[in-house]
Amino acid sequence: VLTSSDPAEKQKKLAAELANGRLAMMAIIGMFFQDGLTGSAWGDWALYTDSPLRAFENEIGVQPPVGFWDPLEFTKDGSRENFLRRRAVEIKHGRVAMYACIGYFVPEFTKFSGDLSPSMGIKFSDVPNGLGAFSVVPLAGWLQIVAFCGLIENTGFTFTQRKSIGIMKDASMTGEKAEPGNYGLGWIGAFNTIKPIPALRKRKLNAEL
């Protein structure tokens, strides 16, 4: 079957054999693994009741068709405390990334008017977009940004109430409810009187993640 008088056709068949063989090796490993966990090579993962991931399959962010996605198995130990800490970090980093995207997009269309540093004669319009800003914004400006971030980190966006934070601790996890990413400020921190709609809130939290 793999022989042919046409060298190009023979090369094509040999390449296909190698590709299919590699795919078959991966497939049989997957079937062995699934058979060992569920009792069948075509088994339903719902039968794997001993999975430590079961503890988190109803959490915010778990959506079909992937379900609870943890390819690096950070939650393999089944520790809810570790899961909540990582979720708080995930939400925080996601929010910072979204702000960063806005910081890239908006200056392409508009910038603040006026002076960034009157003493150095630098206007906001002089600051290039993206990484080029590092060479223009004065050191004092970067220190102010770091100080502002530290204030948020220490007060959890309240700016007045000192939170218990530290290594592996987030301000949103120090309150009574201790919900990752929830600083108790309501929608944008301004409308605490609005009663949340559970289904809508869950959809929005899933979208944020």
CA distance 71 to 198: 29
So what's the pLDDT on residue 23? 92
CB-count exposure of residue 171 (10 Å: 0-12, 13-18, 19+)? buried
Tell me the pTM.
Answer: 0.60
Q: Mean pLDDT across the stretch 29-41?
A: 74
pLDDT digits (tens, 9 = 90+) for 9-18: 888 888 888 8
pLDDT tens-digit series, residues 74-96: 877 777 778 888 888 888 888 88
The arithmetic mean of pLDDT across residues 17-44, rounded, is 80
